[in-house]
Chains A and B, each alone.
Chain A
Amino acid sequence: MKKGLILLVLVILITGSLLGCQPEAPLEQTSNPPSSPSKLDSINTAGKIMVGTSADYPPYESVDESGKYIGFDIELMAAIAEGMGVKLEWVDMPFDSLIAAVQENKIDLSISCFNYSEERDQQVDFSEAYYTSKDAFLVAKGFSGTIAKPEDVVTLKVGVQSGTVQDDWLTSNLIDTGLLKEENLSRYERVDQAALDLQAGRVDVLMLDEVPAKNLVSQYEGFNIVLSAELSTGPLNIVLPDGDVALKAEIDKQIKALQDSGKIEELAQKYFSE
């Protein structure tokens, strides 16, 4: 039994070392070798583009009652695919596995209200920005405290979607500095679950993008945005495979065309106007 255990731990360590080292590597090789074919070719050959999203973030992306994908990002992507002359196929995934999915070629690209961040940029590429977002702090009916500045949340129970820039911001600015206790931060798989817990009173305040926050305000009675600020957010970009220059050029071209034609402004009017 003892010998078996030692052998076992050894086996695991070796497998761990073999597999575990891999993901460290991309830090050095920031771009694909030039010979590797662009995703753009395979997209054109297949005649369809596979796009990942976390469909829980209305009005950017969500699923309606008949199971159809709807939202700002969804329609924008549809317009991009149309411009490219390919069919569009959606893959719904948890937000925090989207980057890995792009890296691992599981999907061609991902649009899911992504903000640029340095860590993310080491793993994948970003398109040009297509919109700009802000952070919001959302509370439910009966909230009696005051949140004048972001640091005021440290005495409260805070909720956030796992793997978002808001999660990073809270972790590095409030948790790692010891201001907010780890057990007072709930990290949710999905935003709709977080909203439900805010309503149920399991968390006091939710940190998320401003536009989806406004959407929740209209959906849940008594929800209220107490503070908006540009802390972790900013321009929104589409996430692309690392170093795929041809694909990035094509997507950027399509975004530019949609900006010039006024289509993006029209979509923003449709989804974001109060």
Chain B
Amino acid sequence: MDVANFIKYILQGTVYTLGVTAVALPSGLILGTLFALLAVYGGKTLKQVMSLYSTVMRGIPPIVLLLILYFVMSGEINLSPFWAGSISLGIISSAYQMEIVRGAILSVSAGQMMAARAIGLTRMQAIINIILPQTLRNAIAPWSNEAAIIIKDSSLVYALGVPEILRRAQLIGASSGSYLPAYLTAALIYFALVFASGRLLGLLEKKLEIPANP
């Protein structure tokens, strides 16, 4: 087999890797933001529940959680390994993204909430119009770290049989006997993806920077 086909076969896995990331990252952000709001503005019980969620989820290896969520989900609903794996990674990420967003909310000074309330906004309006826009802009830098982690963790769905980059490298390695080139190609693709995502989010961060905000 020629080199071009070899590389092309592994490259085709990029679609799955990016697909997993494209599902997991935003779903983790939405859940994480929601949980962070509950953790900061919720009642005492809610705060405790959220902090328990964060502690437990972040204390268990992602691969273990992935398999638990995968088997729970597939027992309840009929989902393909791709979707079950992507959603599971999103749920896992929600605990980490919750901490990112929580940190960013707390970095917006409490005076802003008071000022917003004083000019007649409701709490909800203040959160949506004043707090969140600043929070999410501040969260981009740590969030780009999370994006890189998800791209790398997407390799875990290998264990579910999703034909992503690593799985394909393994298959083509087995059929051609060239394991070293196969895994090196896979490593290169992952590196390029992580690198590119860092650059892209770096640009976004510059663009959305809050002027004069240290």
A touches B (Cβ under 8 A): yes
Q: Does B135 contact A (CB under 8 A)?
A: no
Binds B, one of A30-38, A99-107, A229-237: A99-107
- A104: B residues at CB distance < 8 A: 71, 74-75, 78
Q: B81–A62 contact, CB under 8 A?
A: no
Known A7-B52, A63-B171, A104-B75; contact A93-B161, beta-carbon cutoff 8 A: yes
Binds A, one of B32-40, B87-95, B147-155, B174-182: B174-182
Q: Does B188 contact A (CB under 8 A)?
A: no
Q: A106–B81 contact, CB under 8 A?
A: yes
- B75: A residues at CB distance < 8 A: 22, 104
> Considering the chains assembled together, what is the distance between the CA atoms of A4 and B5 in angstroms?
55
Q: B71–A66 contact, CB under 8 A?
A: no
- A94: B residues at CB distance < 8 A: 159-161
B175: nearest chain-A partner, CB-CB: A65
> Considering the chains assembled together, what is the distance between the CA atoms of A36 and B127 in angstroms?
49
**Whole-angstrom distance between the Cβ of A38 and the nearest chain B Cβ:** 15
Q: A8–B56 contact, CB under 8 A?
A: yes
Q: B79–A106 contact, CB under 8 A?
A: yes
Q: Which of A76-131 contact B (CB under 8 A)?
A: 91-94, 97, 100-101, 104-106
Q: A91–B171 contact, CB under 8 A?
A: no
Q: B78–A105 contact, CB under 8 A?
A: yes
Q: How large is the interface on B (under 10, 10 to 19, 20 to 34, 35 or more residues)?
A: 20 to 34
Q: Does A64 contact B (CB under 8 A)?
A: yes
Q: How large is the interface on A (under 10, 10 to 19, 20 to 34, 35 or more residues)?
A: 20 to 34
> Considering the chains assembled together, what is the distance between the CA atoms of A250 and B170 in angstroms?
35
Q: Does B80 contact A (CB under 8 A)?
A: yes
> Considering the chains assembled together, what is the distance between the CA atoms of A56 and B71 in angstroms?
23
The interface centre, meaning the residue of B52, B160, B171, B172 with most chain A CB atoms within 10 A of its CB, is: B171
- A64: B residues at CB distance < 8 A: 175
- B81: A residues at CB distance < 8 A: 91, 93, 106
**Whole-angstrom distance between the Cβ of B74 and the nearest chain A Cβ:** 5
Q: Does A55 contact B (CB under 8 A)?
A: yes
Q: B159–A192 contact, CB under 8 A?
A: no
A104: nearest chain-B partner, CB-CB: B74
Residues of A within 8 A of B (CB): 4, 7-8, 11-12, 19, 22, 55-56, 62-67, 91-94, 97, 100-101, 104-106, 189-190, 192-193, 196
Selected A-B contacts with CB under 8 Å, 19 pairs: A4-B55, A8-B56, A12-B56, A62-B174, A63-B174, A63-B175, A65-B5, A65-B175, A66-B5, A92-B167, A93-B81, A93-B160, A94-B159, A94-B161, A97-B160, A106-B80, A190-B170, A190-B174, A192-B174
